[in-house]
Amino acid sequence: MLRPLRLLLVLLLSGFALAQEASHGTAPGFRQVTSTHGVFGYALPADWKKDGFNSYRGPDGSLIEQIYPPAIITPTYCASGGPRPDESRVYDNGDVRGCYVMTRYKNYRHVSFRFPSPKGIEDITIIMPEDKYDAARVKKIIDSVRLR
């Protein structure tokens, strides 16, 4: 009797997780992933694959997850750290408020979205070659970030 109850529980919980993802409306051609430490989730292009402990790679770019000490999200904080950004601002995707920072480096664009979580400041950085940069695709990734 225990086995059927366990199976029912797994099915119910799986359905709940799928309903949660569906309620966030994953865009066509994207799939939901959970961050390395399970603190947040986001959508990635379906053709981007896991490429190491905290990164993904696809034909048109890559993404890396990082974590920093806790901080307060302000325009000054958003503009701090690393090379001088081409664009830096506080951005709210509707669920998560954080820093949107875009930097051009050599022939690449680095777009970072840093936001607070219980573990500190989470950072996803999307790196794309200039000739393959897709602002709409980057926006879909950033707008899909949700704390768990």
Q: Residues 25-71: pLDDT tens digits?
A: 677 899 999 999 999 999 999 999 999 999 999 999 999 999 999 99
How many DSSP H helices and E strands does the chain contain?
Answer: 3, 10
End-to-end CA distance of the chain: 32
pLDDT given at position 107: 96
Q: What is the pLDDT of residues 104-140, one digit of tens each?
A: 999 999 999 999 999 999 999 999 999 999 999 999 9
Residue 15, pLDDT above cutoff 80: no
Distance CA 95, CA 38 (A): 17
Strand-pair partners of 97? 92
pLDDT given at position 126: 98
Residue 10, pLDDT above cutoff 70: no
What's the pTM value of the predicted model, to 2 decimals?
0.81
Instruction: For strands 146-147 and 120-129, give the pairing.
Output: unpaired
* Beta strands per DSSP E along the chain: 30-34, 40-45, 49-50, 55-58, 61-68, 87-92, 97-105, 108-117, 120-129, 146-147
The first and second tokens of residue 24, run together, are 């966030």
Contact 43, 31 (CB under 8 A): yes
pLDDT given at position 26: 76
Q: Of all residues in the chain, what percent carry a pLDDT higher than 70? A: 83
How far apart, in Å, are the Cα atoms of 25 and each of 36, 50, 97? 21, 22, 19
Considering the domain 27-147, what is its CATH architecture?
3-Layer(aba) Sandwich (3.40)
Looking at this protein, which amino acid is placed at residue 72?
I
